[in-house]
């Protein structure tokens, strides 16, 4: 019910109810006629049961906001529960609870995720996609039926004999395993061909290859479209394609060919770290691209006989796979829900070869790698026919990338931590309820991450003074962290911030400041200290007072815009 109460509170505060709807929540106004009202709510219940479940709040105008949106509902909960049971096939059991809110009596219909495919007694089936209930087509019904009954299309016989395997594909698999750093995988590389095929689960019960084996290892797959992948490269996002590649089975060779095609057109940005080490930042991090491609191959619906499309330019890399997300996975839980393979046999073969994440957290890796390279997170979108992963190729924010390398190793691998830092580079403060949808966790789990980042040994956040006693305080980056991030923090140059206050206090106490002082005050390297001093000089807060013009010993004193004296009120406000 937490999701319901948060949404109702947002509507009461002025947000339009429709904007609070999502794949787990829908607002309804009961129709005046009892029969029509029950039919309408039965359809809505079917819609959620065929997705991941959810809540229908009856008595709220979805186009309204504020107190006027709450018109209430006088339907009897027991009667409505019984009518939904009667009007659905198979009969659907829901929970209907009354809720008094903002002076109105509402009904909350809680619908569980179904174990079968549901329809109305009139034969209409619907499915929730994002915030819409859409009619299900025969293919959608067939796909959902197989997923819910545990049927695996990729494990069914393909009619292709083991002798049909492309020798190059089999040798490639052997080489992958023999060169693996994992000892278990290396042991597979020493097996005979037939034993390896059995370990990969690509042999059907009748001794032929199953569909996973055919797609992975045979040329001229008859179970899929002729082209498994269509790759296009453009020099600019709206320009003519200068390379178009149509890649056909076997899939293991297509996987490598596609990665090489993208890699050969990658740009590189060198980045020197504070310890002098130089790292190379790719336009699109290879680890993120690899996971996106593996997900497209494993979770795409090959039965549609449509290829995976890859559009590549300097501005973006778009990977589009056929079919929607696997049932139960949405764009709002994809980071934390884990992997549900559409085709378990195909997924198992990919994982045994080391081409995909063992625990199904490839999306996690995509987000981490993009943030660590100083770029925006991937944009994932879906509809009934396809899923798209979009990587944006803008120049990397090297200050963020450099800062993240200074974090403890475990935090560099923590997706929640990276998303929180990225958010706080654009927003002064965040609380657990605000960050929860971004990290796709509950408010309590988000609070645990914020608290961890505000204590030793990480210690990069601090609760604001006015909220520190609340259950969910607002957190901000510490002053020294803001200094180290510099211009990567969008609000860094506004008004007088923590950096200005510390520098002004130091000059008032000692009369001057230099680069070494800045490095000690904010725990930054010489380059970040230089940027801080340039910013202060540019705003005339300080001015050079030494004859020396270059080097770390150049001294600075009060500039034309330097405060004449401390203001007690200002000092108290900054604290």
Separation between Cα atoms, residue 288 and residue 175, nearest integer Å = 23
Token pair, residue 158, equals 């393909």
Question: 362-372 and 415-424 helices cross at what angle (nearest 10)?
Answer: 40
For residues 21 and 62, the answer to whether their CB atoms sit within 8 Å is yes
CATH number at residue 477: 1.10.10.2340
326 and 379 inside one domain? yes
Query: 443, 434, 324: which is closest to 381 by C-alpha?
Result: 324
Task: Give the residue, 566 or 362, on which the prediction is more confident.
Answer: 362
Confidence (pTM) = 0.78
Separation between Cα atoms, residue 484 and residue 478, nearest integer Å = 10
Give domain status of residue 147, yes or no: no
Give domain status of residue 222, yes or no: no
480 and 565 inside one domain? no
Mean pLDDT of 257-284: 88
> SS3 string of 202-270?
CECCCCCEEHHHHHHHECCCCCCCCCCEEEEEECCCCCCEEEEEEECCCHHHHHHHHHHHHHCCCCEEE
Q: What is the pLDDT of residue 492?
A: 61
364 and 435 inside one domain? no
Give domain status of residue 128, yes or no: yes
- Domain end, chosen from 185, 217, 249, is at 217
465 and 386 inside one domain? no
Give domain status of residue 506, yes or no: yes
Which tens digit of pLDDT belongs to each residue from 431-474?
Answer: 999 999 999 999 999 999 999 999 999 999 999 988 989 999 99
Query: 266, 270, 268: which is closest to 278 by C-alpha?
Result: 270
255 and 369 inside one domain? yes
Q: What is the pLDDT of residue 361?
A: 58
Separation between Cα atoms, residue 570 and residue 517, nearest integer Å = 24
Which tens digit of pLDDT belongs to each residue from 308-330?
Answer: 999 999 999 999 999 999 888 88
Residue whose pair of structure tokens reads 């305080």 in the numeric block: 473
Query: 261, 281, 255, 271: which is closest to 369 by C-alpha?
Result: 281
Cα 237 off chain centre by: 24
**pLDDT surpassing 80 at residue 178:** yes
CATH number at residue 548: 1.10.10.10
118 and 7 inside one domain? yes
Query: 213, 162, 168, 148: which is closest to 352 by C-alpha?
Result: 213
Question: 515-522 and 498-510 helices cross at what angle (nearest 10)?
Answer: 130
Q: What is the pLDDT of residue 494?
A: 46
Q: What is the pLDDT of residue 359?
A: 45
With 0-12 / 13-18 / 19 or more C-beta atoms within 10 angstroms meaning exposed / middle / buried, residue 495 is exposed
43 and 113 inside one domain? yes
9 and 122 inside one domain? yes
Which tens digit of pLDDT belongs to each residue from 501-543?
Answer: 888 889 998 889 998 888 888 777 777 788 788 888 888 889 9
Average pLDDT, the chain: 90
301 and 272 inside one domain? yes
Give domain status of residue 148, yes or no: no
Residue whose pair of structure tokens reads 């801080």 in the numeric block: 532
Give domain status of residue 52, yes or no: yes
252 and 383 inside one domain? yes
- Domain end, chosen from 82, 108, 136, is at 136
Separation between Cα atoms, residue 531 and residue 35, nearest integer Å = 70
Q: What is the tally of structural domains in the chain?
A: 5
- Domain end, chosen from 465, 488, 511, is at 488
CATH number at residue 286: 3.30.565.60
Q: What is the pLDDT of residue 572?
A: 39
Token pair, residue 386, equals 């396809």
Separation between Cα atoms, residue 129 and residue 399, nearest integer Å = 38
Alpha helices in 285-414 (DSSP H): 286-299, 344-352, 362-372, 398-404, 409-412
Which tens digit of pLDDT belongs to each residue from 187-244?
Answer: 999 999 999 999 999 999 999 999 999 999 999 998 899 999 999 999 988 889 999 9
Token pair, residue 225, equals 């479209």
Burial track 255-293 (b if 16+ CB lie within 10 A, e otherwise): beebbebbeebbeeeebeeeeeeeeebbbbbebbbbbbb
Mean pLDDT of 237-265: 95
515 and 483 inside one domain? no
465 and 535 inside one domain? no
Task: Specify which residues 231 forms β-bridges with.
Answer: 245, 310
Give domain status of residue 377, yes or no: yes
Mean pLDDT of 386-412: 92
Question: 443-453 and 432-439 helices cross at what angle (nearest 10)?
Answer: 100
Burial track 533-549 (b if 16+ CB lie within 10 A, e otherwise): bebbeeeebbeeeeeee
Q: Are strands 475-477 and 461-463 parallel, antiparallel or unpaired?
A: antiparallel
DSSP, collapsed to helix, strand or coil, labels residue 344 as helix
- Which range marks the domain in which residue 443 is found? 407-488
Separation between Cα atoms, residue 360 and residue 356, nearest integer Å = 8
Give domain status of residue 282, yes or no: yes
């Amino acid at each position: 019910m937490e999701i319901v109460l948060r949404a109702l509170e947002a509507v009461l505060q002025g947000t339009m109810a429709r904007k609070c709807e999502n794949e787990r929540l829908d607002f309804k106004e009961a129709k005046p006629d009892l029969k029509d009202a029950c039919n309408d709510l039965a359809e809505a219940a079917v819609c959620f049961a065929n997705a991941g479940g959810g809540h229908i709040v009856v008595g709220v105008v979805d186009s309204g906001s504020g107190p006027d949106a709450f018109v209430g509902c006088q339907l009897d909960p027991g009667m409505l529960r019984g009518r939904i049971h009667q009007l659905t096939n198979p009969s659907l059991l829901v929970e209907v609870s009354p809720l008094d809110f903002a002076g109105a009596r509402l009904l909350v219909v809680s619908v569980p995720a179904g174990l079968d495919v549901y329809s109305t007694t009139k034969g209409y089936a619907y499915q929730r996609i994002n915030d819409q209930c859409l009619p299900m087509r025969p293919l959608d019904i067939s796909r959902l039926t197989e997923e819910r009954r545990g049927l695996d299309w990729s494990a069914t016989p393909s009619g292709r004999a083991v002798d049909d395997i492309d020798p190059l594909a089999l040798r490639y698999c052997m080489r992958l395993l023999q060169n693996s750093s994992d000892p278990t995988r290396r042991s597979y590389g020493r097996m005979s061909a037939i034993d390896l095929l059995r370990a990969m689960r690509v042999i059907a019960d009748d001794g032929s290859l199953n569909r996973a084996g055919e797609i992975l290892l045979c040329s001229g797959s008859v179970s899929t479209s002729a082209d498994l992948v269509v790759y296009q490269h453009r020099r600019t996002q709206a320009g003519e394609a200068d390379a178009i590649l149509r890649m056909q089975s076997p899939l293991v060779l297509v996987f490598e060919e596609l990665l090489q095609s993208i890699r050969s057109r990658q740009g590189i940005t060198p980045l020197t770290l504070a310890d002098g080490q130089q790292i190379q930042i790719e336009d699109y991090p290879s680890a993120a691209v690899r996971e996106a491609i593996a997900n497209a191959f494993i979770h795409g619906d090959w039965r549609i006989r449509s290829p995976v499309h890859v559009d590549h330019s300097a501005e973006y890399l778009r990977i589009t796979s056929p079919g929607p997300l696997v049932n139960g996975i949405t764009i709002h839980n994809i980071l934390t829900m884990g992997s549900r393979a559409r085709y378990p046999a195909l997924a198992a073969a990919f994982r045994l070869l080391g081409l995909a994440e063992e625990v199904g957290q490839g999306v996690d890796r995509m987000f981490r790698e993009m943030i660590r390279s100083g770029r925006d997170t991937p944009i994932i979108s879906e509809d009934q026919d396809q899923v798209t992963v979009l990587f944006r190729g803008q120049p990397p924010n090297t200050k963020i990338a450099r800062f993240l390398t200074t974090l403890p190793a475990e935090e560099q691998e923590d997706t929640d931590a990276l998303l929180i830092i990225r958010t706080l580079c654009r927003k002064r403060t965040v609380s657990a309820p605000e960050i929860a949808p971004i990290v796709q966790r509950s408010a309590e789990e988000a609070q645990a991450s914020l608290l961890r980042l505000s204590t030793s040994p990480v210690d990069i956040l601090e609760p604001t003074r006015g909220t520190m006693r609340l259950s969910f305080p607002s957190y901000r980056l510490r002053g020294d962290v803001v200094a180290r991030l510099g211009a990567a923090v969008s609000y860094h140059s506004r008004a007088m911030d923590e950096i200005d206050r510390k520098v002004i206090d130091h000059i008032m106490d000692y009369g001057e400041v230099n680069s070494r002082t800045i490095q000690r005050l904010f725990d930054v390297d010489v380059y970040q200290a230089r940027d801080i001093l340039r910013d202060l000089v540019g705003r005339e807060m300080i001015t050079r007072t030494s004859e020396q013009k270059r080097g770390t010993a150049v001294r600075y004193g009060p500039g034309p815009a330097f405060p004449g004296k401390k203001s007690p009120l200002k000092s108290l406000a900054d604290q």
